[in-house]
Structure 1
């Protein structure tokens, strides 16, 4: 294998067929330290530190001062503090939370997280809040608020993989979903962080045979919906790739570059596997970052298919489509404090 090649970045030109690759990064551009991660959240900054949360026992946390050197932080939930409601939602659940997302609202940070079992639809998205992300702050501590949305066998959706966003009018939304009938959207109450309009069914945004890991992003006058197609959690056999659609309204419809609606299986590829950099997934913006940086995970074919953190930036074509650039992958990393199981 050519170890100098990183992810193929699909340049979305007229037919988005021109491919570029990242040359081998110099040492200071390779992510270092505690880089093992799966399903990273939005990266948020507080008091000079960047924080990211990820799938793992108790929900894993990491922090960095420069987005390059990463340190392991404490779990959100200790083993004896797993919310009591989780066992009723997903029988057999053992505290291995998935795919969080985080946003700041007023004086608190809101962390949305997934409770499920692999291949099951009996799932829920929960919410925990804290006034600070700094574990050394006396005010630090996550308080569980409860269930935002729950799914049962036979529902039109699977309640995992949240992505939260505030629109131009100050309304707050959460995209979510995995397999079943695809990616859905609900409105959140800014006062509580919980779901509004419980009587209204979630709106479907995107559909495909294997789809999950939605991310909502606003750029200029448009909203973008990133999703993963393919299979995660299989190490070097993973087939994840990232697709995108665009809309002038957060509720859709989201169309790809060819005008095909994502609700009808559309989506333009923006990241896929190349060589030993396998299965890129779960786009995670750096909140408030004017350089349009984002994180994602991938499976390292040079390191037994371990899932690791990567960082890149969006650049934008003249007609307003995102192109991934400046991709920075991870080095060998340090041993994590907890096992990084993919899903369950």
Structure 2
């Protein structure tokens, strides 16, 4: 039975079939823009877009259950900096830094680049822990009308002693910013580096594998249920700052990006990729719109393989 297997083994069960079943509503939420999956004391945790950001724990049967909202009271700067936002916070990402969890998230409104990326921290993820409690660490980055970037969709990666955040949506594309590894905020005098461009691009994620850094992005439109056109594209670079090139050698700053995962059967508009590593096995974590459930968004994990230095997914594993 799954409940008696170690977490890492349970996560690698073929097909991750629990995400292809019809699940009840209630505590089992719609999942959109899932964060990097992390572990704490043997439990798996994930965050998702939602009112105040959804904090979710993986149940023994594989379902994700909402445990709390990160924010029940919102930092005052949200309203000051992004008046149009009403508490619906997007696309969180999470990373462990010493004794704290750092969560990065987007404050925005649909279709606008009047946006900001915020940071919150907590010593624990389990709301039952005495160390649980989220502290507002402030604003990392801000974009305004007239800027040629959009400060949303943060994804964080630690690279040696350095901490980096990729971000961006539409406008002039995807950017990379160095962060202070202690505070988690923007490093003094750090300037954004553009990594990728396409007319409809967002949701970056950088993953190190072997000698290369791999940049995953989304092309297309999200948030339209079965009419969503999201697909995941990828390029790679020897340096985290780029240039990232696809299989044909095209620079992602010039519209390059190799096809990685697109709509397939009931799994429409896969997006917002991240990678979870368990027992040396890499799993692609992403959301999709379920054609069999009127476009409800949900989380799926697919086993990954590598061929000739490029990632591949076992698509059939998620269709059972």
Q: Same fold (TM over 0.5)?
A: yes
The residue aligned with 1:141 is 133
Q: Which residue of structure 2 lines up, in the alignment, with residue 294 of structure 1?
A: 284
What's the secondary structure of 1:280's corresponding residue?
strand
Of the three residues 112, 116, 119, the one matched with 1:124 is 116
The residue number in structure 2 matching 1:157 is: 149
Alignment RMSD: 2.0
> SS state of the match for residue 292, structure 1?
strand
Distance 1:28 1:187 in 2: 37
Q: 1:228 aligns with which of 203, 218, 224?
A: 218
Taking the TM superposition and a 5 Å limit, the aligned residue runs for 1:195-206 are 195-198=186-189, 200-206=190-196
| Residue 253 (structure 2) pairs with residue 263 (structure 1) | yes
Please state which structure has a larger fraction of its residues in helix: 2
> Do 2:303 and 2:317's aligned partners in 1 also have CA atoms closer than 8 Å?
no
The answer on whether the counterparts of 1:309 and 1:329 sit within 8 Å (CA) in structure 2 is no
Q: Distance in 2 between matches of 1:93 and 1:119?
A: 12
After TM superposition, give the deviation of residue 158 of structure 1 in Å. Answer: 0.5
In 2, the alpha carbon distance for the partners of 1:26 and 1:310 equals 7
> Is 1:320 the counterpart of 2:312 in the alignment?
no
1:233-271 deviation per Cα after TM superposition (whole angstroms, max 9, x unaligned): 001110000000000110000000000000000000110
Q: How far apart in 2 are the matches of 1:118 and 1:206?
A: 21
C-alpha distance 231-308 of structure 1, shift in aligned 2 (>3 A) = same
Equivalent residue number for residue 342 of structure 1: none
Equivalent position of 2:182 in the other structure: 191
Unaligned runs of 5+ in 1: 1-23, 332-344
CA deviations on 1:157-207 (whole Å, 9 max, x unpaired) are 10000010011x321100000000000000011110001133x43110000
> Could you give the per-residue CA deviations for residues 14-60 of structure 1, whole angstroms, max 9, x where no partner exists?
xxxxxxxxxx9595674666262000000000001100000000101
SS of 2:138's partner is: strand
Q: Report the secondary structure of 1:263's partner residue.
A: helix
Indicate the SS of the match to 2:118: strand
**1:179 counterpart residue number:** 170
Aligned counterpart, 2:79: 87
- d(CA) in 2 for partners of 1:299, 1:265: 25
CA drift at 1:88:
1.7
Question: Aligned in 2, Cα 1:330/1:110: closer, same or farther, shift over 3 Å?
Answer: farther
SS in 1 for 2:76: coil
Alignment of 1:1-344 (within 5 A): 30=20, 34=28, 36-64=30-58, 68-78=62-72, 81-167=73-159, 169-198=160-189, 200-286=190-276, 290-317=280-307, 319-325=308-314, 329=318
User: Residue in 2 aligned with 1:14?
Assistant: none
Relative to 1, partners in 2 of residues 1:67 and 1:312: Cα closer, same or farther, differing over 3 Å? farther
Partner Cα distance (2:238, 2:195) in 1: 13
**Aligned equivalents of 2:212, 2:16: Cα separation in 1:** 35
Preserved CA contact (<8 Å) 2:16 2:302:
no
> Which segment is superposed worse, 210-219 or 86-95?
86-95
Q: TM-score, normalised by structure 1?
A: 0.84
Q: What is the deviation of 1:329?
A: 4.7
Query: Counterparts of 1:76 and 1:327 in 2: how far apart (Å)?
Result: 35
Q: Distance in 1 between matches of 2:196 and 2:239?
A: 14
Shift of 1:75: 0.5
